[in-house]
Amino acid sequence: MDDSEIKLKGNIALVGFEILDPAELVIIKKIVGTYVKKICENGPYSEMRLTLQQHAHGKSFKHEIQGLAFIGNNRFSAEITEWNLYSAVSQVCEKILNAVVHDMQKEQRHDKVTFK
């Protein structure tokens, strides 16, 4: 763990988020926590890691979020660049959730076909 990594309950790591205001960080934690709960309902969740990089454009920032989640033996990743930080975090988590759900449904269909 380096200085720029924030560890949360549920094996969640936020890298690069230490630059945010405490109020912003509370909202990010709630968004990520909600998605991790949904991911846990759909597969054997083990860990999630989000990395934030900000790119200055004039007086505002573009937020690049990279997400990585380990579910069972699988690794799911997503990346997005967005002006709105909360939207970026939500979209990355949503992409990972959708990939997990799709993968679990695919495995269930495969099991039904294999064992008929």
Each residue's pLDDT tens digit, 69-84:
999 889 999 999 999 9
Its CATH class, for the domain covering 5-114, is alpha beta
> Measuring CA to CA, which residue among 16, 25, 91, 92 is closest to residue 54?
16
Please report which confidence band the pLDDT of residue 10 belongs to, taking 50, 70 and 90 as the band edges: confident
pTM to 2 decimals? 0.85
How many Cβ atoms from other residues are within 10 Å of residue 67's Cβ? 23
**Domain extent listing, the chain:** 5-114
76 Cβ partners below 8 Å, 6+ apart?
68, 69, 70, 96, 99, 100, 103
Given the DSSP bridges, would you call strands 12-15 and 45-57 parallel, antiparallel or unpaired? parallel
